[in-house]
Structure 1
Amino acid sequence: MKLVTFTHAQSTRVGAVVDDTVVDSLGSSAIPPRMLDFLALGSEALAAMQALIDSGSHRIPLRDVKLEAPVPRPGKYLAISLNYADHIAETGKDRPEYPSFFTKQSTCVIGTGAAIQRPRVSDKLDYEGELAFVIGRRCRHVPVEKAREVIAGFTIANDVSVRDWQARSPTMMIGKSFDTAGPLGPWIVTADEIPDPHNLELKTRVDEELRQNANTGEMLFNCYEMVAYLSEAMTLEPGDVISTGTPAGVGVKMYPRGYLKPGQTVRIEIEGIGTLVNPVVMEP
């Protein structure tokens, strides 16, 4: 199932993509309009959505809706750094002994098609194509072997980074949290449709130029290990987003630098999920 948050007729709500249509949750009183509430209901909400899909009714052409970020305001947006060996090599840093996470503020989140703004205060705007997963159950102290049970599904993230602001602080938070620096989407593919999240092809293109080309199997710490590690410290809740790191090929390590410029478009494709597309504009 491909779960979306979409806007149609000035109303934003949850739906599911089937072929070139969106199944509209307005067709079922059992489906809440907000993704956070939908995920919190768990199997009950999924069953109601599946029943609506099976009915074949309440469908809107995909071209007639605006896809928002599937989780427009996650309670937590956590991202791991230095999680691909080739990216570690291009940065010249040491391989981490433990997973290293930072926070992206939820106000940075945008959906597919929305514009990434190059900020007025910096021209060092960079992309990072990543697999992300969304928590589906409130949980704490989750063992690795049970971590899959708390993941609702998978989506695509662009960990947009303002490199000079990122470098100013060891936490990296501000440089990772500028407005529009968190594209997510185009949807959440439920975990049952991704049998192995650690064997997916990932490609990032800026316009037509292939910048990143990797497989998620190259991650040092896999999705389940991340859940186990984070849940030792904090309660994970439905709708929390965890981004799993980027492979080599980021703009800051190109010669000359491959920073994003207004007028360019970033396309991140992950096998089995889809494509996240965002144009770049100057901050208005």
Structure 2
Amino acid sequence: MRLFTFWDGDKYALGVKTKQGSLHVDSTGESHGFDSTDIMAIIKEGEEAVIRLRQWVESLDNARWLDESALEYGPCVTEPGKIIGVGLNYRKHAEETNAAIPTSPILFSKFSNTLSGHGERIIIPLETEKLDYEAELAIVIGKRAKDVSKEEALGYVFGYCPANDLSARDLQLKTSQWLLGKSCDGFCPLGPYVTTADEVGDPNQLAITSIVNGEVRQNSHTSDMIFHCNEIISYISHHMTLEPGDVILTGTPEGVVLGFPPERQIYLKEGDSVTVEIENLGAITNSFIKDNSFVSMKSQT
């Protein structure tokens, strides 16, 4: 099942993407025994909520279909307690940046201010001249995970979604800590959908691409991860407790601007558009502006 959030007036609403189109999970759901319209509530309740939601979708006679072209999407996970990134987790990406192959996962943090949705225009901070894209598979945790084994780890996943780990390289590499370059406003587009784990199968068997202004820049496969998804979840859970709704960004493949020779490094600029697409999960597209007076589409309506 594919779930998403969108702006309904001044608040987020819950949607379900089906083969026939997109549904608004609104108050009509109550008569079908389903009364939650909060993506975080669905994630925290887990499998039972997803089963109930599926039954609701299947029972609808007069569905409230949405005009997808008119939607203003929110991030598909709206309130993660933690956003944890994994650096240099694709072998070819480590090689293109002349970095040593990690022997343990390299972890860093993003925060809730970085969240953005499909179609959102992201402001390029005035402090950077080197904004880079990073296509990533995001894991959404569905159950509390502490000291879990690699063999059990995928059982703690609610679902997966495309993400763009936007990185201001000049800020990222200004010090030995990456946080500043990773945590500017809007730097973690998630979505459009979170696809439940039962419909994904092996997360390390998915094609992953990024497209910048119509040009394919990254064209890889999650099997190239140095630490696979189950290893990442297990590793993190042995150091901190993972909670439902936590998001893990699993690293990016080769093809980022930072990996090009200096003479070919053309970073993102105002007017550019980046799409991150992952097999069976969908594609998220964002454009970029350099205008601190920008007002969101939601506030203009």
| TM-score scaled by length of structure 1 | 0.96
**Residue equivalent to 2:3:** 3
**Residue equivalent to 2:16:** 16
Q: Say yes or no: does 1:243 pair with 2:243.
A: no
Contact 1:252-1:258 within 8 A present in 2 as well: no
CA deviation after TM superposition for structure 1 residue 226, in Å: 0.5
**Residue equivalent to 1:70:** 76
The AA in structure 1 aligned to 2:47 is S
**Residue equivalent to 1:262:** 270
Q: Deviations over 1:84-123 (max 9, x none)?
A: 1111111111111101110011211100100122111111
Contact 1:31-1:45 within 8 A present in 2 as well: no
**Residue equivalent to 1:139:** 145
Contact 1:201-1:271 within 8 A present in 2 as well: yes
**Residue equivalent to 1:276:** 284
Does the residue aligned with 2:238 lie in a helix, a strand or coil? helix
Change (3 A) 1:169 1:275: same
The AA in structure 1 aligned to 2:266 is G
Change (3 A) 1:23 1:93: same
CA deviation after TM superposition for structure 1 residue 64, in Å: 4.0
**Residue equivalent to 2:41:** 37
Determine what percentage of the aligned residue pairs are the same residue.
37
CA deviation after TM superposition for structure 1 residue 251, in Å: 1.1
Q: Say yes or no: does 1:47 pair with 2:43.
A: no
The AA in structure 1 aligned to 2:128 is S
The AA in structure 2 aligned to 1:15 is G
What does 1:194-209 correspond to in 2, within 5 Å? 194-209=200-215
Q: Say yes or no: does 1:98 pair with 2:99.
A: no
Change (3 A) 1:165 1:144: same
Q: Deviations over 1:60-101 (max 9, x none)?
A: 323343221011231100010011111111111111110111
**Residue equivalent to 1:124:** 130
Contact 2:273-2:287 within 8 A present in 1 as well: yes
Inter-partner Cα distance in structure 1 for 2:56 and 2:26: 8
Q: Deviations over 1:178-229 (max 9, x none)?
A: 0011111111010011111111111101011111010000001000000100
Q: Deviations over 1:217-258 (max 9, x none)?
A: 000100000010000011101110001100111112323212
The AA in structure 1 aligned to 2:3 is L
The AA in structure 2 aligned to 1:121 is E
Does the residue aligned with 1:199 lie in a helix, a strand or coil? coil
Contact 1:23-1:53 within 8 A present in 2 as well: no
Change (3 A) 1:25 1:147: farther
Q: Say yes or no: does 1:167 pair with 2:207.
A: no
- Structure 2 unaligned blocks of 5 or more: 293-301
CA deviation after TM superposition for structure 1 residue 44, in Å: 2.4
The AA in structure 1 aligned to 2:196 is T
Inter-partner Cα distance in structure 1 for 2:28 and 2:177: 44
Does the residue aligned with 1:233 lie in a helix, a strand or coil? coil
CA deviation after TM superposition for structure 1 residue 165, in Å: 0.8
Change (3 A) 1:118 1:11: closer
The AA in structure 1 aligned to 2:132 is D
Inter-partner Cα distance in structure 2 for 1:69 and 1:98: 29
RMSD of equivalent CA atoms: 1.4
Does the residue aligned with 1:68 lie in a helix, a strand or coil? coil
Query: Relative to total residues, which structure has the larger strand share, 1 or 2?
Result: 1
Q: Say yes or no: does 1:26 pair with 2:30.
A: no
Contact 1:153-1:188 within 8 A present in 2 as well: yes
**Residue equivalent to 2:65:** 60
Does the residue aligned with 1:28 lie in a helix, a strand or coil? helix
- Higher mean Cα deviation, 168-177 or 217-226? 168-177
Contact 2:13-2:24 within 8 A present in 1 as well: no
| TM-score scaled by length of structure 2 | 0.90
CA deviation after TM superposition for structure 1 residue 21, in Å: 1.8
Q: Say yes or no: does 1:210 pair with 2:216.
A: yes
CA deviation after TM superposition for structure 1 residue 45, in Å: 1.3
Does the residue aligned with 1:122 lie in a helix, a strand or coil? coil
